Amino acid sequence: MNENLHIQREMDDKPGEECGVFGIYDFDGNDIAQTIYYGLFALQHRGQESCGIAVSDTEGPKGKVDSCKGMGLVNEVFDAEKLENLHGNIGVGHVRYSTAGASTRENAQPLVLNYIKGTLALAHNGNLINAPELREELAYGGAIFQTTIDSEVIAYHIARERVRSKTAEEAVARAMQKIKGAYSLVIMSPRKLMGARDPQGFRPLCIGKRGNAYVLASETCALDTIGAEFVRDVLPGEIVTITQEGIKSDTRLCQKQQTAHCVFEYIYFARPDSIIDGLDVHESRVRAGEQLYRENPIEADIVIAVPDSGTPAAIGYAKASGIPYDTGFVKNRYVGRTFITPSQEVRERAVAVKLNPLKVNIKDKKVVLIDDSIVRGTTSKHLVESLRRAGAKEVHFLVASPVVQYPCYFGIDTPYRKELIGAN
């Protein structure tokens, strides 16, 4: 992994998400690359390392897919000229944060496969727990891999099943019976757009509609951005298929057992203006702050947040306690992914570059500082020290999420257990 990216993640001291996916089928035949671009913009918080778009024309030649992908943010990879060269009314898009596989252009998505039945473009959010075995099985069968990511294993299995299946959706269903772990998939075949969600429902996926077009997206905020109406969430284990005839659903893999949505979507990953599986993300964070006060009532002069992710919980704590909420830190919005931290000493000062206490609100006050979650605890330590230096009388550091005691194997970038402050 790029050293600066690694250091940036340490500075943020937050778990990282896997990816964001987006797909659209416009029945009126309009070019949709620009719409995908704006959809990915709305999902940029889910991955900042690479992004891509693949489109096809449902009235054009069956195997033709126009695609463009690269390293960096959506507005760095795409410009007006690149978008104008992407022609088609059906397409998928992806923003990536690497947890499995290196941070390289080869691993950027969507993946586009040309095989005996035509073409397949796939965008994936999540992590497979049986990817090594499946990859080995495919390799012994003669598969040559171009990437080091789980998503290629899924794409190969779908392509292989498609050869002996009547339909693309049947191939997806068969592949889903083999793969284990967390995944939301958006898949484009020449005449169909498909969405699939793992049977536990770890990763979010929703359906939207704009005029005569259907949309699939990781979060509802992407639907809002492009002016689409939210239709519903894709059910855990469901496969939805969008064709010229409309939308149909296959729920045979939907299990009756308990689902296991990723709680970090509500704690940190999702944008606060999204609604996931019927729960308003912002409201869930505010309620976590209210519950935090009920469990940890503290007498103080001011409630402040670690911006921006701790803000809703801090508002909830202030609401429940009656202690005024105010700004505690000023955030430097220009510290980006390329922020260079060459030494440990400078790395420790990096927090001050990013967040600086607002002394006028802190001096001589008893302060409750609230964050949404705590992973390594490195940033938290520096923030508490900076509040002390700013003249705080007392600093009470509270965390709105349950204690993170174990790493996650389902597509969240968490450190080893020995590095987790909650485990030690």
pLDDT of residue 140: 87
3-class secondary structure, 417: helix
The whole-number pLDDT of residue 106 equals 85
Cα 373 to Cα 146, 194, 263, 306, 407: the distances in Å are: 36, 34, 11, 10, 14
d(CA 121, CA 352): 43
Record the pTM: 0.90
Q: What is the pLDDT of residue 232?
A: 98
Cα(128)–Cα(150) distance, integer angstroms: 6
User: Please, how many CA atoms are within 13 Å of residue 103, restricted to the half-sphere of its CB?
Assistant: 19
pLDDT in the model for residue 349: 64
Per-residue pLDDT tens over the stretch 161-171: 999 999 999 99
Q: Which two tokens stand for residue 233?
A: 């969430």
pLDDT in the model for residue 336: 56
Nearest CA-CA partner of 120 in 84, 172, 71, 51:
172
Q: What is the pLDDT of residue 147?
A: 86
Q: How many CA atoms lie within 13 A of 202 on its CB side?
A: 21
- Determine the pLDDT at residue 118: 87
Distance CA 163, CA 350 (A): 53
Q: Kind and range of the H or E element at 40?
A: helix 33-42
Q: What are the beta bridge partners of residue 25? A: 90, 214
Nearest to 185 by CA among 208, 210, 226, 152: 152
SS (H, E, C) 309-369: CCHHHHHHHHHHHCCCECCCEEECCCCCCCCCCCCHHHHHHHHHHHEEECHHHHCCCEEEE
Active-site pick, 19, 51, 206, 221: 19
- 221 noted as active-site residue: no
Within the chain, which residues score under 70 in pLDDT?
1-18, 98-102, 256-257, 335-350, 411-415
Helical ranges in 124-219 per DSSP H: 131-140, 150-163, 168-176
Q: What is the pLDDT of residue 100?
A: 57
pLDDT, residue 2, reads 45
Roughly what angle, to the nearest 10 degrees, separates helices 378-389 and 3-12?
60
**Is 285 in contact with 312 (CB distance < 8 Å)?**
yes
